[in-house]
Chain A
Amino acid sequence: MSIAEPETRPYSREWLLSDRPTSRRQARLGRAYIVWRRFAENRLALVGLAILILLLVVAAFADVLAPHNPVQGDLRNARLLPPGTAGYLLGTDDQGRDILSRLIYGSRLTLLVVVLVAVIAAPIGLIVGTVSGYAGGWIDAVLMRITDIFLAFPKLVLALALVAALGPGIENAILAIAVTSWPPYARIARAETLTFRHSEFIAAVKLMGASPFRIVLRHVMPLCVSSLIVRVTLDMAGIILIAAGLGFLGLGAQPPLPEWGAMIASGRRFILDQWWVAAMPGFAILIVSLGFNLLGDGLRDALDPKEAGQ
């Protein structure tokens, strides 16, 4: 005799929170809703999310939002104007370019770096980690030794050396940062894989004749994704800072691209008299990486209540 589930309106709160979902989609949406509620309780995490949405909007509508050309300035009338000058909210730099417009366009470069690094590094880490954890034995030993070797270099220093060899430029900077970013992801994916490597559902899939390739791809990887997302989000701030550092040293995006780190470098010469040229891009970097940190913290607490508050 089964107890009839009271009818609930689809997509309502009760439907989402039901502990007897009738479809796979309901279960998934319900889980997501619970995670979201836990996430939304954390005000700082919401602030982080807001900052990132703002970044996305600014990057998407840079053409509309920017009041001036980010690359060509008014050399005759608008050199090194202080913030608050009519028409130039955040002042201008030594080439008469509006700093606000450059920051707005620069958000695209920041987003590009972050997204590309995540897209390159996270899958590498995921593959190395899951294969290593699932296969075990000498494959595990070799892959983890390689991971440890990359972990042995401080990120910035290895990225510096790589860009020095590859030549400066934003593509090479992205590549260098990605090469230095994947090892922690591999570690996490491996640790996660080890926790359910011997569990029954894996044994069941194996019994049904799934190849190791299929098991890793379809059954192991999806389970590692959520902890990986948290870690990648938490790493984003660090990635932005390294990219800015490379830009500051002249190894990242090249002029006249409005990369925030490079903008600080170009403002360095006037730092004592026209402080705003170097100060403004720094605030932009600080706000965006703070946003990623807040979001990452919030995600970690929401997805992994065990560690919440620690």
Chain B
Amino acid sequence: MTLPETSVATRRNRRRASSALASVLRFAVTVVTTVFGLLLVTFFIGRVVPIDPVLAIVGDRAPAHVVERVRLELGLHLPLYEQFYIYVKQALSGDFGTSVLTTNPVLEDIKRVFPATIELATIGTLLGAFIGVPLGVLAAVKRGSIADQVVRVIGLIGYSVPIFWLGLLSLVLFYAQLRWAAYPGRVDIVYEYSFTPVTNFYLLDAAMQGQWDVVWDLFRHIALPGSLLGYFSLAYISRMTRSFMLNELSQEYIVAARAKGLSEARIIWFHALRNAAVPLVTVIALSYANLLEGSVLTETIFSWPGLGLYITNSLQNADMNAVLGGTLIIGSVFVGINIFSDLLYRTLDPRTRNR
């Protein structure tokens, strides 16, 4: 059966338009249901899992009238679905309750501490990408060689080592023994008052204000936790780069490029890597999201005043509002990064368009 060319074309266009609309709709449904699900899970953890949420907040020594008041404040006398409705309404308007530990609204706390985590995760991802991608390319090009084995072992150890333990050991070596790194924390106490952060991204702030001694001090603080997270992201990125590159290098266009007489370097870095770069962008975005998680334990070790330390401190003090607020924020950022990398993938790879 053959159809006239024009009819095929119009049909294809119509199908494309409707499929674009459908994918936008599907996308919207995904985002809404996922956010709804995140809220449902944190609500469940905060209200349903604990035997007595009031007890979790006021402790077991609170007098009866306080317990009663908190019960009413939390709305625990209402049916669950009504509680959930109120919870969603409050969360969507940015009200995650008040932190017992800091007595601030949780959202305010998170706004204060989150830049520190982003700073750390960004440094880690940059290190991981700039070292991990070349290593992965090297391993793929020299497949089976010593270099490949070394990259593989570096990656495997990165997958297998407890991050908090490596952090402790690195503190012993680089802070206590060699004195290269600074004491755990984000900035030296000397600069605590002479330096006023604006955006809470300290490195950026200090550089913009031209306080280079502060920048140096900040660098000495971020070097250890940053390279630690960098190592973890390197392990992941180099492994994925190797796999993508092996895939590209076995394609026919590589043979064609070789037959054309292009130099090996040009084939690797311009032809193969460019094609491998598309899935790599997704991997790097995912590794960024993973570092937000890895920062929880790293920040605890290095007293890094970010979201991870905030969550673990709140945990230790049974501050559930803060824990769940932090969990929700990390979950949302996680979802956001996933969606972003998905969209990026679609824009970068023409083959996935109109699908």
A residues lining the B interface (CB < 8 Å): 145-146, 148-150, 152-158, 160-162, 164-166, 237-238, 241, 244-245, 248-251, 261, 264, 268, 271-272, 275, 278-279, 281-282, 285-286, 289-290, 292-294, 297, 309-310
Contacts and interface: CB of A to CB of B under 8 A. Distances in A.
B338 A152 contact: yes
A158 B324 CA distance: 9
Contacts of A293: 156, 159-160
A161 B49 CA distance: 11
A245 B164 contact: yes
Contact of B327 (A161, A241, A251): A161
A154 B157 contact: no
B161 interface: yes
A161 B156 contact: no
B311 interface: yes
B46 interface: yes
A223 B303 CA distance: 48
Contacts of B40: 149
B327 A152 contact: no
A282 B157 CA distance: 12
Residues of B contacting A: mostly: helix
Nearest to B336: A152
B296 A261 contact: no
A223 to B, nearest CB: 25
A152 B335 CA distance: 6
Contacts, number: 147
A15 B89 CA distance: 69
B168 A268 contact: yes
A271 B300 contact: no
Contact of B33 (A145, A157, A158): A145
Given A146-B37, A286-B157, A310 B246 contact: yes
Contacts of B335: 152
23 contacts: A145-B34, A149-B40, A149-B41, A150-B41, A152-B34, A157-B311, A157-B326, A161-B45, A161-B323, A162-B45, A165-B45, A245-B297, A248-B297, A261-B162, A275-B172, A279-B169, A282-B162, A282-B168, A285-B162, A289-B159, A289-B160, A293-B159, A310-B242
Interface in B8-58: 30, 33-34, 37-38, 40-42, 45-46, 49-50, 56
B293 A157 contact: yes
Contacts of B166: 282
B334 interface: yes
B283 interface: no
Interface stretch (B127-135, B251-259, B312-320): B312-320
Contacts of B42: 161
B320 A154 contact: no
Given A249-B312, A310-B246, A157 B327 contact: yes
Interface string B257-290: 0000000000000000000000000000000011
Given A156-B296, A245-B297, 11 more contacts: A146-B37, A149-B38, A154-B292, A154-B334, A165-B46, A165-B49, A166-B50, A241-B160, A264-B168, A282-B165, A310-B243
A157 B320 contact: no
Interface in B300-348: 300, 311-312, 315-316, 318, 320, 323-324, 326-327, 330-331, 334-335, 338
